Structures are given as C-alpha cells and as structure tokens.
Amino acid sequence: MSVRVVVSGDGAICAAGKSPAEIWDAVWTGRPAIRPIQQWDASGWPTSLAGEIAGSDPRALVEDRKLHKLLQRSDLLGLYVAGRALDDSGFVAYREALDPPAAAAVNDRTGVYVGMGGGGYQNEYEFFPLLTAANGDLRTFGRELTATVHPMWLLRSMPNNVLCHIGIRHGLKGPNVCVTNHSASGSTALTEAAAALRAGEADRALAVGHDAPIEPQMVLYYHQLGLLGADGLWPFDARRSGSLLGEGAAALVLETDSAAADRHVRVLGEFLGSGCTTEAEGLLAIRADGDGLAGAIESALDDAEMRPADIGMIVAHGSGTRLSDASEALAIRRVFGASAPPVTAFKWAFGHPLAASGILDSVLALIALRHGVVPGVATLRELDPDFGSLPISAQPQAPRSDVALVLNRGFGGSNTALVLRAAASEAA
C-alpha cells in the first residue's frame, strides 16, 4: 500500500438531525424520524410517510440568498453539508493561514466528488404556466417562452449544481466528478475521491452525497412500483413491506496521510477499500441470490487487503423491501459464512435518502466504531426467520474490530461495498 487515505471531517443532515452528532443520537437512542409528509397534504395518499427534514425550508441552510433561486432542495442540502464538513476538518482555517500562492496550490490539489440522485420533477412544473398559455400549440410555446419561464431555469436543473457551487463557494479546484447513479451515487463518489488521492491526483478531497426525492410524483411512482412500505420501514423484519423515501446529504473530507500529517489534523477514520459491481438485469431487477452484492463485498475486501474475519461491523443497505433485504442476507452469508460480524442498518431511522445513503451510512459507521458500539435496529421486532444466522438485533452489539463494511445498492443492479476503519474510540 502506498498512500493511506484518512477521514478528517464530516457533515450530515437528514430527517433525524442536522448534524452527525444529532443523527447519531437519534440512531443510538432508537428514535425513528419517519413522519407524515409535510411538503404537501399527503394525508389521503397511499403512502404518506417519509423521512422528511423537519422545519422544511432548506433555504435557511444556505445563507447566500442569491443562490436560492439557482438551487433545488437537494442541492441546498448538499451545499450545506459540504460547508459543515470542510469546517469540521479544520480545512478552512488551515487554508486561511497560508500565503496566497500556497493557498492556491492547496485549492488546485483539493478535489470535489459529488453523488446526486435525480428527480426534480417539480422543477419541470415551472413550465406549467407556459403549457397553459400554449394550450397544446408548440409555436405559442416557443413564442411565449422567454416571457414566461425563468431565464436561469437550466442552471437550476443541472445535475452538477452542488459540484459547481462547492467550487465557487469554497474555491476548490482539483479533480472532480458528479456521479449520477441513483442510490450508489454517494458511495461511488467516495470511491472516486479516495482513488484520486491514492493515484496522487489530489492531496485532499471532499465527497458529498445528496438527495431529496420526497415530491408528489416521485412518491407515487415508487408506490406504484411496489417499492414503498405500508406503515413503516423495517429492515430485515419478518413484517417488512417495503422502503420509505428519505432525504438528506452527507459529506466526508478525505486526505492523504501525509497531507493530514502536514496540518496535524484530527483523524476520524481511514478509507481502506471499496468494491462495485452490477447485476445487469435491468433498472429494478435484483438477483435473488445476492450474487452482485457478494461480488462487491469480495472486491472491497481485496482492495482493502482484508479477510472477512477482519470486519468488525456490517452496515447493511437494509432498505426494507422483501427482495433486497433477503438477497442482502444471502450475500452476507455467502462471504462470511456462519461467522458474520454484528450487522446493523440505519434506514429505519430516517428513510432511504437514495444518493445520500452511502456517505451518510459511512459517517454514522465511523461514529459508531469510534464509540465502540454497533447500534441496534430499533424497529426490529422479529427477524425474518429466513435470515436465521444473521447477527442483527434491536439491541446494541459489540463490534468485532474497528473496521466497518458499508453496503449500498441502487437501481440498475448497482452494488457497492466500502471498507472503513474508525480512529481510536472517543468514549466508552
């Protein structure tokens, strides 16, 4: 191994809280933040629950009011956590103390990797007044266009907005990617950020995942496709009936070990490796045997140069759908046999925040292992008997080591696995 990649800062927001500490507290104390949707009156809807961020106006999270018109809800969340993570890492203060050429060099060597989710149907509704005026006539649509729709409409619609505005706001100018791969986006962004550091393309990188899928048309599509649970999100439970959408964002600051040592940074953990596979059977298809996910885990262990026995805790995807949880349990069994480490999952606490999942789960995994605990799945009443040997519990468990395996799955049969080591524990 040449370059080690360490984690020096985090930021997160979701239904369960507006900081990693708040979210951790909700998870640790077993308080799910799944609630009736507030953004519109969904009381008569077939699915009216979601993991929505309370207080609901995320514009308050981004001070620069000029940006409010240019950003969608999901973008605001992403930009917010990016700032929090950079602050948390001490990066901003470090750069301020440098002379301008040195600061410019640091900016050129700091990458930005963002995973975003998609959606944004409501953004397209801004064409509704124009469609009304056009009344089915495209010529009128074309003629009335500039008088009716905001000139910056395209800029608000850009999938890479968070990347763009992190750059402008924080001056970061290194290598960058905006991953658009549904729920695998966040973990893929983290993987690419770490790869850039390992390859010497950057000394530091900010990895962000963000998503805000709770909008009427999206909720209804997910419902029609049978992906949503009736009354709750209960990972690995015998009574589980589907997932529930969540919203949120999370960010991690990564540095090479030498860049971190240069500025005497407090280290939260280390990125050890990752794996990514697809099942190639269609957008919604999931293989029942968990083959794709097992392959991702094996490839992540290879990348991290670890054996299954080295893993101390598994943060499962645990989306709460019948098929995903069942195939996930099989994948874990295939790799770990009868000796899997304690397994947990977090989506019961804040819903499924799609593209934000991978990094949000990573933030929480590192906190859990710094505390030396594996939080319970608070909603678990009766483990699905098919998963007999899976060491998952409603109660806290003791991790087997300071290394976490974080699993994520997305549309298109994407499976990702991340291997992370937590820094020495904070408290007993």
Partner 1 sequence: MTGTQRRVAITGIGLVTPLGNDVAATWHALLAGKSGVAPITHFDASGFPVRIAAEVKELDPRHAIDDRKLLMLATRSHVLGLAAAEEALRDAGIRPEASDATRWACVVGSGKTGLGIGELGEVHRQCAPDGHFRPDRLLTNGFAMDPLAFYRSQTCAGLSLLLHRFKIRGYATSVHTACASGSQAVGMGMKLIRRGTADYVLAGGFDSMIDPIGLASFCLLGALSTDNETPQRASRPFDATRNGFVLGEGAGLLVLEAWDAARRRGARIYAELAGDGNSLSSYRITDSHPSGDGPIQAMRQALAAAGVLPEEVDYLNAHGTSTVMNDRSECAAVRAVFGTHAPQIGVSSTKSLMGHLIAGAGAVEAAICALAIHRGVLPVNANLAEPDPECDLDFVRGQPRVRRIRVALSNSFGFGGSNSCLALRNPDEVGA
Count of residues touching partner 1 (by CB under 8 A): 93
What amino acid occupies position 352? H
Residue span binding partner 1 (CB under 8 A) among the ranges 115-123, 249-257, 337-345, 384-392:
115-123
Quote the least distance from Cβ 354 to partner 1, whole Å. 10
Query: H or E segment at 116?
Result: strand 110-116
The SS3 assignment for 300 reads: helix
The residue among 32 and 413 lying less far from partner 1, judged by its C-beta, is 413
Site membership for partner 1, residue 124 (CB under 8 A): yes
Site membership for partner 1, residue 213 (CB under 8 A): no
Site membership for partner 1, residue 326 (CB under 8 A): no
Site membership for partner 1, residue 145 (CB under 8 A): yes
For β-strands 110-116 and 204-211, DSSP reports them as parallel
Q: Residue 417's beta-bridge partner residues?
A: 275, 407
| Interface with partner 1 (CB under 8 A), residue from 15, 27, 193, 195 | 195
The residue among 89 and 188 lying less far from partner 1, judged by its C-beta, is 188
The residue among 35 and 169 lying less far from partner 1, judged by its C-beta, is 169
C-alpha distances (whole Å) from 140 to each of 123, 125, 166 are: 21, 18, 38
Torsion angle of C-alpha atoms 364, 303, 185, 349, degrees rounded to 10: -20
Torsion angle of C-alpha atoms 367, 369, 370, 376, degrees rounded to 10: 60
Q: What share of the chain is helix, strand, coil (3-state, %, to 5)?
A: 40, 20, 40
Contacting partner 1 within 125-144 (CB under 8 A): 125, 127-129, 131-133, 136, 138-143
Quote the least distance from Cβ 75 to partner 1, whole Å. 11
Site membership for partner 1, residue 386 (CB under 8 A): no
The residue among 152 and 238 lying less far from partner 1, judged by its C-beta, is 152
Quote the least distance from Cβ 374 to partner 1, whole Å. 29
The residue among 123 and 393 lying less far from partner 1, judged by its C-beta, is 123
Burial zone of 41 (CB within 10 Å; 0-12 exposed, 13-18 middle, 19+ buried): exposed
Give me the residue label for tokens 């010497």: 200
Token pair, residue 397, equals 């468990």
Residue span binding partner 1 (CB under 8 A) among the ranges 57-65, 80-88, 193-201, 324-332:
193-201
Site membership for partner 1, residue 92 (CB under 8 A): no
| Interface with partner 1 (CB under 8 A), residue from 21, 54, 93, 224 | 224
Give the other-Cβ count within 10 Å of 301's Cβ. Answer: 21
Residue 210 contacts residue 162 (beta carbons within 8 Å): yes
Token pair, residue 36, equals 């009736």
Quote the least distance from Cβ 292 to partner 1, whole Å. 7
Please tell me the distance from the alpha carbon of residue 231 to that of residue 40, in angstroms, as a whole number: 18
Contacting partner 1 within 241-300 (CB under 8 A): 276-283, 292, 295
Quote the least distance from Cβ 252 to partner 1, whole Å. 18
Quote the least distance from Cβ 205 to partner 1, whole Å. 11
> What are the DSSP calls for 205-233, one per residue?
EEEEEEE---SHHHHHHHHHTT-B-SS--
Q: Which of 210, 111, 212, 114 is nearest to 170 (CA)?
A: 111
Quote the least distance from Cβ 269 to partner 1, whole Å. 19
Site membership for partner 1, residue 65 (CB under 8 A): no
Contacting partner 1 within 2-41 (CB under 8 A): 2, 40-41
Quote the least distance from Cβ 412 to partner 1, whole Å. 4
Residues 6+ apart with CB under 8 A from 303: 272, 273, 274, 275, 419
| Interface with partner 1 (CB under 8 A), residue from 56, 217, 339, 389 | 217
The residue among 107 and 401 lying less far from partner 1, judged by its C-beta, is 107
Residue span binding partner 1 (CB under 8 A) among the ranges 57-65, 87-95, 107-115, 389-397:
107-115
Quote the least distance from Cβ 210 to partner 1, whole Å. 13
Contacting partner 1 within 163-192 (CB under 8 A): 163-164, 167-168, 170-182, 184, 188, 192
Please tell me the distance from the alpha carbon of residue 178 to that of residue 222, in angstroms, as a whole number: 24
The residue among 225 and 238 lying less far from partner 1, judged by its C-beta, is 225
Please tell me the distance from the alpha carbon of residue 80 to that of residue 62, in angstroms, as a whole number: 6
